[in-house]
A and B are shown apart, each in its own frame.
Chain A
Amino acid sequence: MKTMNLYSPASSSIPSLNMADEFSYTDEELIARFQDGDEQAYVELVNRYRNRLMTFVYRFVNDIEKAEDIVQDTLMKLYTHRHYYRNIAKFSTWIYTIAGNFAKTELRRKKRHKVTNLSQMGFDDREYQLPSVEPETGETAQGHFAEKKIQMAIQELPLHFRTVVILRDIQELSYEEISKIVDVPLGTVKSRINRARLQLQQSLKEFR
């Protein structure tokens, strides 16, 4: 059976379609090709979204292992449920919605069990090497500290504030897209983001 090779030790980005094609297809075109049976289009979508989703989910659940599991589940769902996508919304809206739902489910599950495990510790509490973590210098140590404070402050936000502020201020999505992802009116999204920022500002003032 022919298997799709997602991982090549030579590079982290797998050339799937032509190198020239890689940048010319929109997400919507890629998912349409995947729905028609082109599995290389799926590989391209994985390459485009795995780190973006990882950032979003990690900032949401604050657990690196769980975040990676959730992103795996999201991309598996993309694979098995490709035909559920309809071109009435952006592909990014769809995939972020799936990831967000998985993340919320995980947080609810965690709340019920209230288990603390090693993977909930931050970057510097355990030896967990992430390719994105730079070696710490004086400047970056300070920036890292600030990042940790912000991450802690984000965790203090209620879920409905946390989702929107991460999507807006970290993922840099538009208000309209966020409104579709979380399925609330635009005005409500703007209000929640505003409230979230004010709460973060207050929390970070206390951390100083």
Chain B
Amino acid sequence: MDRYQFEDLISDYIENNLSMNQRKQVEAYLEENPEAKQQIESVKQVMASMKSMPGISTSAEFMNNLNRHITAEKEAKSVVKSTRSFAGYTPLMASLSAVVVIAVVMLGLEFMPESSNQATFTPTMTEQQINDLPALPANTNDSMLAESDEDSTNYDEDTPVKRNFDNKIQRVGNKRP
């Protein structure tokens, strides 16, 4: 055991926190080094002196001062509570804000154009151009459709129509076996 190892164990030796083996090593070191014994006694004296140092009391004004601080704290809290608000808005602020918002909405509705909600069609042709367009034939598509016996809506699920596209589809390249 060297001096540094011994010093590391001084407090544990004094407080009796060493294992049997460690204690024997320390005592062997003490036997060989008388100044180490003196060091142990000095450290014991330091510990005893610190233990016997007088306690310190607070002053006579301490409790009064603490009482004052607590009262001030309570008063501050009650002021905050009376003006407490929701999301940072006091009741007065909330009322004023609501009035402003309603006024803005009302004014906005007042000045909004009537057809603003309807989809508007802005013609790209002038009125003259529209008037110059040729008239539609008497036989309009509507009447043609009305007279037709068949159209794409005639579809019977039970008898699917097979269409022949052979003349229309040109097979390119590979021929199927």
> Interface residues, chain A, CB within 8 Å of chain B?
1, 3-7, 12, 14, 46, 50-52, 54-55, 58-59, 64, 67-68, 71-72, 75-76, 79-80, 130-134, 143, 146-147, 150-151, 165, 169-170, 172, 190-191, 193-194, 197-198, 200-201, 204-205
Contacts and interface: CB of A to CB of B under 8 A. Distances in A.
A165 B67 contact: no
Contacts of A80: 73
Interface of B: 7-8, 10-12, 39, 42-43, 45-47, 49-60, 62-67, 69-71, 73-75, 78
A194 B8 contact: yes
Contact of A190 (B12, B47, B73): B12
7 contacts: A7-B67, A51-B58, A55-B55, A68-B62, A147-B53, A151-B53, A197-B10
Residue among B46, B60, B73, B74 with most chain A CB within 10 A: B46
Contacts, number: 116
B51 A205 contact: no
Say whether chain B's binding surface is mostly helix, strand, loop, or mixed.
helix
Contact of B71 (A3, A75, A132): A3
Interface of A is mostly: helix
Contacts of A52: 55
Contacts of A75: 66
A133 B47 CA distance: 21
B71 A201 contact: no
Contact of B58 (A68, A79, A194, A205): A68
Given A50-B62, A169-B51, A5 B67 contact: yes
B69 A54 contact: no
Contact of A146 (B49, B60, B62, B67): B49
B10 A194 contact: yes
